[in-house]
């Protein structure tokens, strides 16, 4: 593991505002991962982690982004005291699968508009994980363009919301979703032909 953390031990360490910092991808891959530090999901201003704690949306954002970054998922909270939201965030198998994908590639930001970002992480079998991140204070519509993913605009991709465990449908050229403040929607895109084979 390579330490790429900013040593800021509060919600600001991974807040939507701080995700503007560049994170190297050159060393990330099978056999080596960048380490942006432990998960503070569920810590709620306890232990050495101060700064007021985070909202549920912000904790879910950290888990989403750590998985897109293929980061080690080291739980920082007391697992004996996890509430339902903390357990839901830390044990979501579809989200964890993005982090643990066998391709081992780290994601990167492919678009930024105002206070919104689009991140993508290549997955095995031609699938793509996409994080729609709202760093702002109001709900925002965020669009992922196939061009930004280096996919053909005419490609038909099936989309699944990994937090809601819900299939969103089939799309060409782009997909637009509304994302709440400081929240992240994590979706998996899969080519339609490939989906039929799986």
Residues 94 and 115 in one domain: no
pLDDT in tens, 125-175: 999 999 999 999 999 999 999 999 999 999 999 999 999 999 999 999 999
pLDDT of residue 25: 57
Residues 5-34 have pLDDT tens digits of 544 445 554 444 455 455 555 566 777 777
pTM of the predicted protein model: 0.85
Nearest to 50 by CA among 78, 12, 10, 15: 10
Residues 149, 82 share a domain: no
CB 14 within 8 A of CB 65: yes
Residue where a domain stops, chosen among 63, 79, 99: 99
Are 70 and 92 found together in one domain? yes
Tens digit of pLDDT for each residue in 104-137? 899 999 999 999 999 999 999 999 999 999 999 9
């Amino acid at each position: 593991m390579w330490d790429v953390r900013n040593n800021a031990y509060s919600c600001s360490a991974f807040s939507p505002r701080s995700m503007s910092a560049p994170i190297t991808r050159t060393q990330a891959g099978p056999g080596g991962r960048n380490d942006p530090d432990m998960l503070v999901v569920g810590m709620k201003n306890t232990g050495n982690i101060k700064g007021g704690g985070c909202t549920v949306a912000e904790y879910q954002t950290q888990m989403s982004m750590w998985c897109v970054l293929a980061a080690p998922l080291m739980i920082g909270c007391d697992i004996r005291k996890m509430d339902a939201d903390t357990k839901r965030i830390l044990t979501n198998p579809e989200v964890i699968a993005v982090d643990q994908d066998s391709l081992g590639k780290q994601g990167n930001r492919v678009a930024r508009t105002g206070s919104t970002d689009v991140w993508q992480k290549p997955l095995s079998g031609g699938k793509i994980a996409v994080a729609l991140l709202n760093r702002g204070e109001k709900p925002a519509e965020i669009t992922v363009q196939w061009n930004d993913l280096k996919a053909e605009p005419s490609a038909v991709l099936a989309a699944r919301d990994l937090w809601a465990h819900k299939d969103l449908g089939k799309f060409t050229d782009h997909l637009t979703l509304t994302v709440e403040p400081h929240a992240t929607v994590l979706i998996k895109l899969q080519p339609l032909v490939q989906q039929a084979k799986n």
